[in-house]
């Protein structure tokens, strides 16, 4: 098995050296062996693990959720259903965020549509007034959502 330093590991995965060290501190990456000179030594399993972490981040998992996925991935007692449950929760969370963002987009578009633009003073700016008074949300009859 090939061993490499943290610099080579970072280069081969495209992950910053400080991020690799952070993942070690957080328990996402196991503590590596050390050379006689005290340098961290990594192997192909570490490369695969870092790529897994990066791909999981790319689809929206938090570091805590990735830690859970890594545990499930190596547990003899875990099932595919356990992984599916975690992924379904994440999908529901993403769907909810998209709904909130869609609502925010609609409110902002409404504020922009009401704005006459041009050289008028900001004292008359309907966008600023709408944000200050919440008129766009009131006009739509929407409740304020917490994000």
Residue 120 confidence class, pLDDT cut points 50, 70, 90: confident
Fold annotation for 6-74:
Multidrug-efflux Transporter Regulator; Chain: A; Domain 2 (1.10.1660)
Backbone angles phi, psi at 40, to 5 degrees: -65, 140
Report the distance separating Cα 112 and Cα 91, nearest Å: 31
Q: State yes or no: pLDDT of 146 exceeds 80.
A: no
Q: State yes or no: pLDDT of 6 exceeds 90.
A: yes
Given a contact cutoff of 8 angstroms between Cβ atoms, the answer to whether 35 and 45 are in contact is no
Model pLDDT, residue 118: 86
List Cβ neighbours of 75 (8 Å cut-off, separation of 6 or more): none
Task: Name the one residue in this structure whose structure tokens are 């909130």.
Answer: 100
Report the distance separating Cα 47 and Cα 50, nearest Å: 5
């Amino acid at each position: 098995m090939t061993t490499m330093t943290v610099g080579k590991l970072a280069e081969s995965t495209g992950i910053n050296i400080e991020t690799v060290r952070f993942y070690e501190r957080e328990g996402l990456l196991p503590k590596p062996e050390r050379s006689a000179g005290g340098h961290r030594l990594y192997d192909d399993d570490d490369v695969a693990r870092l790529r897994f972490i990066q791909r999981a981040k790319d689809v929206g998992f938090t570091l805590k959720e990735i830690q859970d996925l890594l545990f499930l991935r190596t547990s003899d007692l875990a099932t595919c259903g356990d992984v599916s449950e975690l992924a379904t929760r994440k999908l529901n969370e993403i769907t909810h965020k998209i709904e909130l963002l869609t609502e925010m987009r609609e409110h902002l578009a409404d504020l922009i549509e009401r704005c006459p633009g041009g050289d008028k003073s900001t004292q008359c700016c309907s966008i600023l007034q709408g944000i200050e008074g919440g008129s766009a949300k009131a006009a739509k009859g929407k409740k304020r959502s917490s994000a």
